[in-house]
Amino acid sequence: MELFTVYGLYLSDFEVLTPLETELVVFVTISCLGLGLGPALWHLRGLGRLLGARGSDETVVQVREAKDVLRSVKVALMGVVEFVGEQYLRKARLDTWPNVGDCVRVLGGWGEDASAP
């Protein structure tokens, strides 16, 4: 069985799903397909930004709260993958999934908002 994702047109239509719900769908799909650290990490960062995380200061309340939510999402998703079975567990490659700390270590933080001209 071949799995693939249609990425773009439908996921950018926010009439049905909110931006946060859309990013959750994308992150979950990318992670479960075992696409590796790169794509999943960028979408993990996007989720964090939608939850209010900015910059690289780990002591900011919004960053800590976003990281807690993201850890919970990852733990829940890993539980689902493990429940589905061994074949899917191999496909998802849990060992390649990013951790919230990777957003700072690898990407340099959660990003900043563009300053007004």
pLDDT tens digit sequence for 12-21? 777 888 889 8
The helix (H) or strand (E) run that includes residue 85 is: none
What percent of the chain shows pLDDT beyond 70?
87
The helix/strand count (H/E) of the chain reads as 5, 0
Sign of CA dihedral 88, 92, 95, 98: negative
Within 10 Å of residue 29's Cβ, how many Cβ atoms?
19
The whole model's pTM is what?
0.83
